[in-house]
Amino acid sequence: MELWEKLIAGDEVACARAISMVENEKDGYLEFLRKIHPHTGRAYTIGFTGPPGAGKSTLVDKVVKNLREKDLKVGVIAVDPTSPFTRGAILGDRIRMADLNTDPGVFIRSMGTRGSLGGISKATLAAIKVLDAYGCDVILVETVGVGQSEIDVVKTVDTVVMVMVPGLGDDIQAIKAGVMEIGDVFVVNKADNDRAKKTKLEIEMMLDFNKDWAFRPPVSLAIAAENTGIDELVDNIHDHREYLENSDELEKRRLNRETMQIHQLVEDIMNKQLDQKMDGRKEDVKKSLDGDLDPYSIGFDIAQELLKSNQFIK
Amino acid sequence: MELWEKLIAGDEVACARAISMVENEKDGYLEFLRKIHPHTGRAYTIGFTGPPGAGKSTLVDKVVKNLREKDLKVGVIAVDPTSPFTRGAILGDRIRMADLNTDPGVFIRSMGTRGSLGGISKATLAAIKVLDAYGCDVILVETVGVGQSEIDVVKTVDTVVMVMVPGLGDDIQAIKAGVMEIGDVFVVNKADNDRAKKTKLEIEMMLDFNKDWAFRPPVSLAIAAENTGIDELVDNIHDHREYLENSDELEKRRLNRETMQIHQLVEDIMNKQLDQKMDGRKEDVKKSLDGDLDPYSIGFDIAQELLKSNQFIK
């Protein structure tokens, strides 16, 4: 059997190999994705995001256990930044999930960011495809951090869970991060803190500032470390899923994800050719730095060499 | 006088208008950038980054005052995420700088992120050009957050100051954020906290883990709110500047920045054409979601329509 056939058949080792293959863009990975594509589209994807220290890993851990009790096959993709200091993804968070690793109904994968933005979301989208073809009913994507790249990653899922912590509202850290608006479901974790209820209220107020919700994001409290509030969170995610499925929103989101995937592939192809061209222009770049040329003229010139159409030359 | 001439002459109103123009990519903005290009290249750029809550704004505030005492003309670009809730950049941090606003030797500008990654770094690079042409001796770029997009922004400056806070080292938040490696100068702010010295030590240890530094980043303590440790920080920045100027590193960094600018411009042109093509492929995307087509075939097909060369078709 070929790798893709093994994957479809639910072979765990094949799944691990397949994710490595697509993540590292090894020879034939596109052909591989093409082959598994007809076997995808069944998995439901849930993203978990929020500020560092919000306890996302522990929360994801408990949600996985909850879903396992419902006998669902679960995939977890944890997007961790790669540090040149460590030459690899930081695995600290993952170690906590050790007990889940022995469960054949759970597949956990940490992904490095590969140093580039396109890298993260591209690899994550491809890994979602693989886990989908592998037969996962639900795929959880956990992103560390609150930056734009993380937002881009999490935008590709069906339901976005924003994990908040008490006290954040005090200095509107949440808004600063610019991620409030992408949450479909909110949860204030570490709710044994006094300020948890106040933070919940602040989030609700901020949400109610926008009166036009087709689905007003629910906000719940949780203490992931004590397994408290997980049922309510899972119920809230389920409500959002029902809303998506009963409107045209689910299809819209998935069309978006598909579009993003195509976009990334074409951008990738274009960027490779652009990089080649740039390599041949090192002297021009130097001239630009010296003021003898300018970056805008060089840019237009390169675009003209790369693209069939010249309609941009104005 | 045209806008660009006014800018070169040091007209403050022209500077504000010029930044708006390039930030919003108004008609003629590329021609404008082309005209000011020969008048740029003199400003020294310093980026300030670090986790939320590290007190970056206050620190930048004090550094500006320190530079003003040396009679340097200073520009500040604060990159804040834009929230759909507020329809604009969050200005809270900037309000603290109110007293600087009345100083004609300081030009402060908050920038929204415009919802996209390319947006931030593109607008920031363009704003740096404008402030450079305006005659700023030093330009400080402050980024809120710790994500990949912020790293990309800050990578374009000459010296990167990593602003840390006591206690962060405890849960290796710093490494997680994946930003340690881009710091040229480190400062532990809010050093009135007991754990400040420990955090400094932890950072030093992490830095010394890499033995091959051409310039080992100095680590200092500061209490920005009390104006403590600012001289040492500014001295450290100066040391890094001297290192860059006495090696080929400064030119390397600036060539990188110039390259990035050209790259972004070409990507922009290419993406506009890609977006047009994607709009015409909505039916195909739907078919892809239904499994009748696949995103990879569609992607290659579009690339073939856009690019002159077909060498990518394998």
Average pLDDT, stretch A126-138? Answer: 96
Q: Is the pLDDT of residue B100 over 80?
A: no
Query: Looking at the complex, does the CB of residue A313 fall below 8 Å from at least one CB of chain B?
Result: no
| Across A86-94, average pLDDT | 41
Q: Who wins on pLDDT, A223 or B264?
A: A223
Total residue count of chain A as it appears in this document: 314
Averaged pLDDT for residues B91-100: 53
Most B CBs within 10 Å: which of A113, A124, A294, A312, as the mutation test of the B interface? A294
Q: Which of A176-180, B152-156, B174-178 has the lowest mean pLDDT?
A: B174-178
pLDDT: which is higher, B99 or A235: A235
CA distances from B156 to A166, B139, B256 (A): 35, 12, 7
Place of tokens 């691990």: A16
Look at residue A93 and tell me whether its pLDDT is greater than 50: no
Q: Rg for chain A (alpha carbons), in Å?
A: 22
What distance in Å separates residue B3's CA from the closest CA in chain A? 18
List of residues 6+ apart from B65 with CB closer than 8 A: B100, B230
Q: Which helix (H) or strand (E) holds B74?
A: strand B74-79
- Specify the DSSP element, H or E, that contains B104: none
Q: How confident is the model at residue B57 (pLDDT cuts 50, 70, 90)?
A: confident
Residue B113 predicted with pLDDT over 70: no
**Residue A212's pLDDT is what?**
80
pLDDT in tens, A19-60: 999 988 889 999 999 999 999 999 999 999 877 678 888 899
| Residues counted in chain B | 314
Token pair 């930030």 is at which residue? B23
In chain B, how many domains are there? 1
Nearest beta carbon to residue B33 from set A116, A270, A296: A296
**Residue A101 CB contacts under 8 Å (≥ 6 apart), including other chains:** A108
Which amino acid is located at B119 in the chain? G
Handedness of CA A32, A37, A40, A41 (dihedral sign): positive
- Tokens of residue A276, six digits: 């080649």
Residue B275 neighbours by CB under 8 Å, 6+ apart: none
Contact B178 A83 (CB under 8 A): yes
Strand partners, B22: none
Contact criterion met (CB below 8 Å) for B47 and B157: yes
Residue A227 lies in a domain: yes
Instruction: Compute the CA torsion angle B180, B181, B186, B192 (nearest 10 deg).
Output: 10
Is some CB atom of chain A closer than 8 A to the CB atom of B79? no
Question: What's the average model confidence in pLDDT over B199-222?
Answer: 87
Per the model's pLDDT, the better-predicted residue between A308 and B118 turns out to be A308
A169 has a pLDDT exceeding 80: no
Q: How far apart are CA A217 and CA A215, in angstroms?
A: 6
Distances from the Cα of A181 to the Cα of A118, A186, A198, A255, angstroms: 22, 11, 19, 20
Give A 217-236 residues with CB within 8 A of chain B: none
The ipTM, to two decimals, is 0.81
Nearest CB to B299: which of A113, A150, A262?
A: A262
Nearest-CA distance A153 → chain B (Å): 12
Instruction: Give the pTM.
Output: 0.76
Q: What is the mean pLDDT of residues B153-160?
A: 86
> pLDDT tens digits, residue range B268-284?
889 889 999 999 999 99
| Shortest CA gap A57–chain B (Å) | 13
The range of the structural domain enclosing residue B233 comes to 41-247
Note the pLDDT of residue B147: 58
Please give the average per-residue pLDDT across A240-245, as a whole number.
98
Asked if residue B299 belongs to a domain, the reply is: no
| Residue B156's CATH number | 3.40.50.300
Mean pLDDT score, A210-222 = 89
**Residue A175 near residue B86, CB atoms below 8 Å:** yes
Q: Name the phi and psi angles at A20, rounded to 5.
A: -60, -40
- Asked, for residue B28, whether it belongs to a domain, the answer is no
Flag whether A273 is in a domain. Answer: no
CB-CB contact of B94 with B78 (8 Å): yes
Picking from A169-183, B28-42, B137-151, which range would have the lowest pLDDT averaged per residue?
A169-183
Mean pLDDT of A102-112: 85
Average pLDDT rounded to a whole number, residues B2-22: 95
With a cut of 50, say whether residue A220 has pLDDT above it: yes
Whether residue A313 is contained in a domain is answered as: no
Could you give the CA distance from residue B145 to residue B63 in angstroms, rounded to a whole number? 20
CB–CB of A184/A217 below 8 Å?
yes
pLDDT of residue B85: 33
The answer to whether position A311 is within a domain reads no
Q: Which residues of B115-147 are buried (b: 16+ CB within 10 A; e: fewer)?
A: eebbbbbbbbbbbbbbbbbbbbbbbbbbbbbbb
Locate B268 and state its tokens. 């922009």
Is the predicted pLDDT of residue B146 greater than 70, yes or no? no
B279 contact A CB<8A: no
CA separation for the pair A109, A146 (Å, rounded): 20
